[in-house]
């Protein structure tokens, strides 16, 4: 697919991220204005509430864009999603509307420079489930703790493994994250202590945003699951590795993951990602029929992780990988989620699991990059890191590249602040 040329000149940049091919959805506000729904075009945020009130787009329900979340619009379903996307393409493409027309004037007045707005959490997260579906990551972590021969648990090649996380602490990019505290247990001590996390980490993930609900007691197929997904965000599932190591047996992560999950401000739709579909990897063990996919369900999205310590003048890119590395697609994860009869809601968020490639330069967590802290990273700016330190800012980026354009997600950033109440008398 080639670039859809727009009369908004900044939308036609090869590496801009927000061409007319993209049209992601988000929520923004400016000084003195309540948050409303928007899309991105070039260097601008376009107010969808103003366009709907002017009769230029139809969101499926009155004032559906006069909201601080996309949930109302997502609930309108695929017909409304497609209609608004096509209406925007018609309005914004070259020769779509006449220069100087009333429509053109309304659109121009509804555009605000991205640098002048505040992006908000794009949707109200109903529930949050985080999967463990990256094979390279699973094998790396398993090798560290169980040895290469037992790296994957017996069920891993058969079933998308996951845990239910906290929707209450999903935050939008740019939100500072306070270092968590919890119980830590060092091998040399008989009892745990309560102290700030010392092995704070990231997990580079994609998040699938559920637009359409399912009914309790009624599983959905993989194809039906794909159609339920409104779009995708970048997702950083912050992880306290030392807290996790003590608490995770036998029920899995709890406080080690509950303190924060960051997502990018733009939800990139399935329609925008359609040209970039790729298949999941070949199966050495066939999946059960309910998980089989009949069409490509992953996406070719280049991803990178950067870190900027407080004392560094610039960021350092520490990983580059691709979403196509996943073993299970979001549609397979969602189909499995409903297989027991579990009901899904508009606004549910599914984390993909850490996305790591086969090469050391393509790892999605510091746990892997430093091999559990045994091989610290030396950044180009001179700092040394095994895990994240206070003042560090972590940045995730993603883009799918087409013919003369790229579909971007915006950045997913977070800065680590010190623990609120340092614990006295902690053993090293």
CA distance 206 to 220: 22
Q: What is residue 318's three-state secondary structure?
A: strand
Q: Pick the catalytic residue: 137, 158, 336, 337?
A: 137
The DSSP H or E segment spanning 91 is helix 78-92
How far from 10 is each of 6, 47, 101, 159, CA to CA, in Å? 9, 17, 21, 44
Q: What contacts 394, CB < 8 A, 6 or more positions away?
A: 202, 236, 305, 306, 307, 388, 413, 414, 415, 416
CA distance 138 to 427: 31
CA distance 71 to 314: 37
CA distance 217 to 277: 30
Determine the distance from the C-alpha atom of residue 333 to the mean position of all C-alpha atoms in its chain, rounded to a whole number.
15
Residue 158 bears catalytic tag: no
CA distance 86 to 269: 13
Residues taking part in catalysis: 137
């Amino acid at each position: 697919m080639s670039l859809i040329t727009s009369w908004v000149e900044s939308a036609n940049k090869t590496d801009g991220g927000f061409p007319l091919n993209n049209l992601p959805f988000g929520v923004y506000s400016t000084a003195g204005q309540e948050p409303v729904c928007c899309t991105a075009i070039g260097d601008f945020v376009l107010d969808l509430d103003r366009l709907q009130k002017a009769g230029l787009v139809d969101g499926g329900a009155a004032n559906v864009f006069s909201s601080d979340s996309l949930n109302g619009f997502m609930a309108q379903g695929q017909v409304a999603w497609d209609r608004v996307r096509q209406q925007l393409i018609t309005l914004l493409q070259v020769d779509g509307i006449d220069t100087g027309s009333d429509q053109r004037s309304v659109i121009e007045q509804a555009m605000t420079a991205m640098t002048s707005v505040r992006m908000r959490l794009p949707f109200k997260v109903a529930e949050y489930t985080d999967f463990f579906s990256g094979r390279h990551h699973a094998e790396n972590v398993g090798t560290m703790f169980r040895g290469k021969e037992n790296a994957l648990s017996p069920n891993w090649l058969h079933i998308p493994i996951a845990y239910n996380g906290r929707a209450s602490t999903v935050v939008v990019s740019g939100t500072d994250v306070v270092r968590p505290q919890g119980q830590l247990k060092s091998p040399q001590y008989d009892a745990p202590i309560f102290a700030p996390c010392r092995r704070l980490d990231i997990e580079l993930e994609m998040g699938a945003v559920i637009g359409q609900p399912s009914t309790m007691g009624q599983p959905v197929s993989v194809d039906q699951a794909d159609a339920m997904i409104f779009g995708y965000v970048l997702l950083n599932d912050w992880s306290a590795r030392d807290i996790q190591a003590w608490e995770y047996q036998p029920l899995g992560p709890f406080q080690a993951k509950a303190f924060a999950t960051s997502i990018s401000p733009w939800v990139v739709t399935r329609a925008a990602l359609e040209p970039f579909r790729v298949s999941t990897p070949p199966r050495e063990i066939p999946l059960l029929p309910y998980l089989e996919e009949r069409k490509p369900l992953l996406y070719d999205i280049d991803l990178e992780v950067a870190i900027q310590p407080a004392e560094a003048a610039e960021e350092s890119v520490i990983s580059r990988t691709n979403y196509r590395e996943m073993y299970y697609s979001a549609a397979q994860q969602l189909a499995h989620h409903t297989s027991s009869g579990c009901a899904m809601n508009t606004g549910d968020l599914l984390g993909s699991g850490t996305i790591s490639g086969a090469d050391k330069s393509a790892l999605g967590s510091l746990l892997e990059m430093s091999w559990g802290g045994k091989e610290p990273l030396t950044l180009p700016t001179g700092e040394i890191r095994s895990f994240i330190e206070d003042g560090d800012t972590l940045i995730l980026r993603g883009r799918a590249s087409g013919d003369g354009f790229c579909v971007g997600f915006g950045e997913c950033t977070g800065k680590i602040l010190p623990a609120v109440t340092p614990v006295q008398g902690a053993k090293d």
